[in-house]
A and B are shown apart, each in its own frame.
Chain A
C-alpha cells in the first residue's frame, strides 16, 4: 500500500512539472513560427538569448528583476489560493511605493529606523488599498475583480495628482523629471557588489523570506489551512467553522500588504525616489507569474526568473535586428498555454487517480483479505 502511495505522489509530481514544461515548449514552437514568419532565423535568436542571458551581468539583472516579480507573484497567489482574483495588485504596489517614497524622503532618522519604517508604510498602504476591495466584497458583494480594476485607476489618478511640484513632489535639478524627494543615502537598502556584473539588490533576501513565510503560513498553520479551505470550497469552509467573510477580508489585506513590497526593491535599491518613470504594470506580470508557478512558492520563483530572463534577452534581440515585440508574443503564449495545460493536466490527473484507486480497490476485493471480513 505504501508503494502505491509513493507511486501516486511521484506521478503527481510528474504531472505538476508536465504542465509548465508543456506550456514553455508550446510557447517556443509558436515563437519559432513567429520569427520564421518575420523572415529571420529563430535558432540564431534562441542561441543568442541563451548566451546573452547566461552572461554574469545578465544574471544579476535577471535576479534583480525577478525579486520584484517574485513579490508580485506571491501577492497575486495569496488571492488565488482563496479564489480571489486580486487584479488590484498593480494599483496597490504603485500607491504603496509612492507614499513610502514620500515618507522616505521626509525621514532624517538613521537607516536602521528609516528602512523598516518605509517598508512598513508601503505594506500598510498596500493593505489599506486592498482592504477597500475586501470590505466592499464582504459587505456589499462587489466583485473584487471590478473593484480592484477601478481602484487601479483611482490609484493612478491620486498619484498623478500628488506627484506635482508643490504637492508631494518636487522638480528635479535637470528640470525635466518630477519626483518625490529622494531618499537620503542612509535609507538605501544594502547591495551585494558582484564586481563587473553589477550590484545585486539586497531586497532579494526579503523576497526569499516572503516566499518562506508564504509556504509556512499556508501549509503549516491553522490560518493557512482555513484559507485554503475557503479557496477550495466556501460551503465546506463555512460548515467547518471558518468565517468566510472574515477570511476574504483578511486574505485581501495580506495580499495587499505583500503587494506593497513590490515597489520596494526598485525604491530602496535602485531609483531611491518615486518619479513618473517608476515601473508600472508589474501587478499584471504578477498574475502571469502566479499562474505559471501554480501558486507554489518555488514555482513562482522559477516563473519570476523566466520572466526576467525573457525580458533581458529579448531586449538584446532588438540590437540583433529582431523585432522587440517577440517578448510580448512569447509571454502571451506562455500564459495562454499554461492556463490550458494546467486545466488539462489537472483533469487528467484527477481522472487517472480515480481510475487507479478504483482498480486498486477492485484488486483488493478480488483477493479476499481480513479487511473484507470486517465489512
Chain B
C-alpha cells in the first residue's frame, strides 16, 4: 500500500489522472509489471488492471448496486445471475459486505464507497487508486475502510492512497511518497517518520519562502469591513451562513493574508467586497467612503484591482484578443475609452506596454487569450489590474497554476506596489506565499475569521492546524512545540472529517 501526500495543488490529482489515462503526460513513462505502457483513455488503464475510486462517487442513485456495478461492463459477466454471483464472490473475498439488490439511494456514504471499490475490482483491477477516500467518512468508517484495504493488500492487490491527512497516511501505508509543486520531494517509510517530518516535507518549510521585507504598513485605514454577513438558502430551504460577522481593516501599504481550507467562504468574501454578491448585513468602507451599495464597476473605478481566483471564468475573455482583454474590467477608464467611445488605439498601445513591462510571452496582441499559457495569462491580468493605480488589490490565489518564474515576478509586483501604499487582500492556499507576503494573517473557517497570527513567527504547520478550526484567537508561535502542533494538525484533520 503506497500513500501519496502533498498540499492542495501539489499535483497529486494530476498525477493520478495521468495514471488513469484521463490526461496525457508531456514526457516520462509509466511502467506496469515491468512493461512500459501508455494510457490514452481510462479504458486502457482498466485493461492494465488499474482502477480508480474517485473522491466524488460516480454512481446512479436510482439503480441497484448490481446495476451500478455492471453499468458499462455488461460484457464481462452479463447483467443477471452470473454478475450477481461474481459480485457476491468479490464481496465475500474482501469482506466488503455488499448486498447486490439494494437501491443505491438507500446506502450511506461508506457503503457507496465500498460499491465504488467493488466496481473497480469487478472490472479486474489489480491496482486500486483511491483519491482522498477518507475525506467523506467519519472515523469509525475510516477504520472500517482501512480494514478493507488491508484485506485487499493481503490478497495481493496494490493500493495507491492519496491523502493529505498525515495521521492516516502514517497508520496505513507501507511507503509514502511526498510531492510538492509537481515534483517528488521524498519517498519515506512510515516506520522511521514522524508526522512532523512529513509535514515539513509537504509544506517544504526549508524552501526559500517569499521574503518578508521591512514593514510598509501605515496607520491609514483603506478598506474596512464591518460585520459582513452573507447567508444563502439552498434548494432544501435550509439557510446556510457563508460569511458570518466578518470585520477587518486593511491599511495603506499592508498585505492582509487570509488562510483557510478552500470553500470556507473566501470566494464569497471576495465577491462581496467586489460587489458581485450583496451581503445581507455589514458595511464595506473604501478609503473613507461607504461602498456597501455601490455597483462593481464604480468600485473598480474607485481603485479596486481584482485578480480573480478563476482567471478563465472571471478574469479573461478567452476567445477575444489580448488587447480586448486589456480593456476588460476597465472599459470606463483611460486609456481604454474616451467618453462613451472605446479608444482602441490607446488600449492597443497600452497592451504592448503591459506585455513589455510584465514580460507576457506572446507573439502579439491580436492572439486570443486562450492561446497563452496560464502563467502568461496571469501576468497579463496582474499587469492590467496594476495599470490603473489601484488603492486596493484583491488577489485571490494570484500564483495558482503559474510556473515558478512567473510566480516570483508576480510576488515582486505585489511587493513593489505595497511599498507605494497599496493595500492588498491576499487569499491563497499556498501557505508559503501567505506567510511570506502578508503583514497580517487571518484564518478563515466556516465563514468566520477564527484566528489571527503574526507571519513573522508563525510556521506553516501552526497555520495549517488553525485552518482546520482547531485553534482560535491569537496564534502564538511556541518555541520547541512545532512537533506537537504538527501532530495536532494530523488529528485535527480527522476531527474535520467527523
Residues of B389-406 contacting chain A, CB below 8 A: 405
Contact A222 B306, CB 8 Å, known A232-B319, A239-B329: no
Q: Is the CB of B344 within 8 A of A222?
A: no
Given contacts A226-B331, A350-B319, A239 and B306 within 8 Å (CB-CB)? yes
With both chains docked as a complex, state the minimum distance between the C-beta of A212 and any C-beta of chain B, in angstroms.
15
Q: Given the interface contacts A225-B331, A238-B276, A239-B274, does A354 sit within 8 Å of B313 by beta carbon?
A: no
Query: B269 to nearest A CB, angstroms?
Result: 14
Contact of B363 (CB < 8 Å), options: A5, A221, A228, A242 = A5
Confirm or deny: A166 has a beta carbon within 8 angstroms of a beta carbon on chain B: no
* Stretch from B128-136, B294-302, B432-440, B453-461 forming part of the interface with A: B294-302
Q: How far is the CB of B445 from chain A (nearest CB, A)?
A: 25
- Residues of chain B within 8 A (CB-CB) of A364 are 361
A14 at the interface (CB under 8 A from B): no
CA distance A356 to B371 in the complex (A): 9
8 shortest interchain CB distances as A-B pairs: A241-B297, A240-B329, A5-B364, A239-B314, A241-B296, A354-B371, A357-B371, A360-B363
Cα A374 to Cα B409 with chains together (Å) = 10
Query: A205 contacts the other chain (Cβ, under 8 Å)?
Result: no
Confirm or deny: A37 has a beta carbon within 8 angstroms of a beta carbon on chain B: no
> Residue-by-residue, is B360-371 near A (CB-CB < 8 Å gives 1, otherwise 0)?
011111111011
Query: In the complex, what distance in Å separates the CA atom of A59 from the CA atom of B366?
Result: 39
Interface residues of A (CB under 8 A from B): 1-2, 4-5, 8-9, 219-226, 228-229, 232-233, 235-236, 238-243, 350, 353-354, 356-358, 360-361, 364, 371, 374-375
Bitwise interface map of B from 324 to 338 toward A, beta carbon under 8 Å scored 1, else 0? 100111111000010
Contact B340 A223 (CB under 8 A): yes
Q: Which residue of chain A lies nearest to B325 when distances are taken between CB atoms in the complex? A: A236
Given A241-B300, A350-B319, A364-B361, A236 contacting B328 (CB threshold 8 A): yes
Residue B174 lies at the interface, judged by CB distance under 8 Å to chain A:
no
Contacts A/B (CB < 8 Å), 21 sampled: A2-B364, A4-B363, A219-B342, A220-B344, A222-B342, A223-B340, A225-B342, A236-B314, A236-B315, A236-B317, A236-B328, A239-B276, A239-B329, A240-B300, A240-B328, A241-B275, A241-B298, A243-B297, A353-B367, A354-B371, A375-B405
Q: Does B341 contact A (CB under 8 A)?
A: yes
**Is B51 at the interface (CB under 8 A from chain A)?**
no
Additional 11 contacts, C-beta under 8 A, given A9-B366, A361-B363? A219-B342, A222-B340, A222-B342, A224-B342, A225-B342, A229-B328, A240-B297, A241-B295, A242-B297, A354-B371, A357-B362
Asked if A232 and B320 make an inter-chain contact with CB atoms under 8 angstroms apart, the answer reads yes
Segment 156-212 of B: residues with Cβ below 8 Å from A: none
Given A236-B315, A238-B276, answer yes or no on A375-B362 (Cβ-Cβ < 8 Å): no
Instruction: Select the residue from B319, B327, B365, B371 with max chain A CB neighbours within 10 A.
Output: B371
Residues of B282-324 at the interface with A, using a CB-CB cut-off of 8 Å, are 295-300, 306, 308, 310, 313-320, 324
Chain A binding site: helix, strand, loop or mixed by DSSP?
A: helix
In contact, B331 and A240 (Cβ under 8 angstroms): yes
B359 contacts the other chain (CB 8 A): yes
Q: Do A220 and B316 touch across chains, with their CB atoms under 8 A apart?
A: no
Q: Which B residues are within 8 Å of any A CB, using their own CB?
A: 274-276, 295-300, 306, 308, 310, 313-320, 324, 327-332, 337, 340-342, 344, 359, 361-368, 370-372, 405, 409
Q: Judging by beta carbons under 8 Å apart, are A221 and B340 in contact?
A: yes
B331 near A222 with CB under 8 A, answer: yes
* Chain B residue with Cβ nearest A219: B342
In-complex Cβ contact of B372 among A239, A356, A357 (8 A): A357
Query: Residue on A with the closest CB to B316?
Result: A236
Query: From residue B360, how far is it (CB to closest CB) to chain A in Å?
Result: 10
Smallest distance from the beta carbon of B311 to chain A beta carbons, Å?
9
A374–B359 CB distance below 8 A: yes
Instruction: Compute the total of residue contacts between A and B using a CB distance below 8 Å.
Output: 110
* Residue numbers in B under 8 Å from A236 (CB-CB): 313-317, 328
Most buried by B among A221, A233, A236, A364: A236
Q: B341 touching A354 by the CB < 8 A rule? A: no
Q: How far is the CA of A361 from the CA of B371 in the complex (A)?
A: 11
Which residues in A have their C-beta under 8 angstroms from that of B298? Answer: 241
Smallest CB separation, A224 vs chain B (Å): 8
A223–chain B nearest beta-carbon distance, Å? 7
Residues B340 and A241 in contact, CB atoms below 8 Å apart: no
Per the bound structure, the CA–CA distance linking A217 and B332 in Å amounts to: 15
B361/A361 in contact, CB under 8 A? yes
| In the complex, chain A residues whose CB is within 8 Å of the CB of B371 | 350, 353-354, 356-358
Inter-subunit contact A371/B359 (CB<8 Å): yes
Q: Which of A239, A361, A371 has the most CB of B within 10 A?
A: A239
Q: Which of B318, B330, B363 contacts A233 (CB 8 A)?
A: B318
Contact across chains for B359 and A1 when beta carbons are under 8 A apart: no
Interface centre among A1, A240, A364 (most CB of B within 10 A): A240
Cross-chain contact B361 with A241 (CB below 8 angstroms): no
Residues in chain A near residue B328, CB distance under 8 A: 229, 236, 240
What are the residues of chain B within 8 A of A219 when measuring CB–CB?
342
Residues of chain A within 8 A (CB-CB) of B329 are 239-241
Tell me the bound Cα distance from A375 to B315 in angstroms: 23
Q: Is the CB of A235 within 8 A of B364?
A: no
Report if A235-B368 is in contact (Cβ < 8 Å); known contacts: A225-B327, A361-B361, A375-B409: no
Instruction: Output the least CB separation between A34 and chain B (Å).
Output: 36
B442 to chain A, nearest CB (A): 23
Contact present for A220 and B342 (CB under 8 Å): yes
How far apart are the CA atoms of A297 and B344 in the complex, in Å?
19
A15 → chain B, closest Cβ, in Å? 13
The answer to whether A4 and B295 touch across the interface, beta carbons within 8 angstroms, is: no
Give the chain A neighbours of B364 by CB distance below 8 A: 1-2, 4-5, 8
Task: Name the one of B296, B361, B362 contacting A238, with C-beta atoms under 8 angstroms.
Answer: B296
Minimum Cβ distance to chain B for residue A1 (Å)? 6
Q: Which residue of B lies closest to A225 (CB)?
A: B331
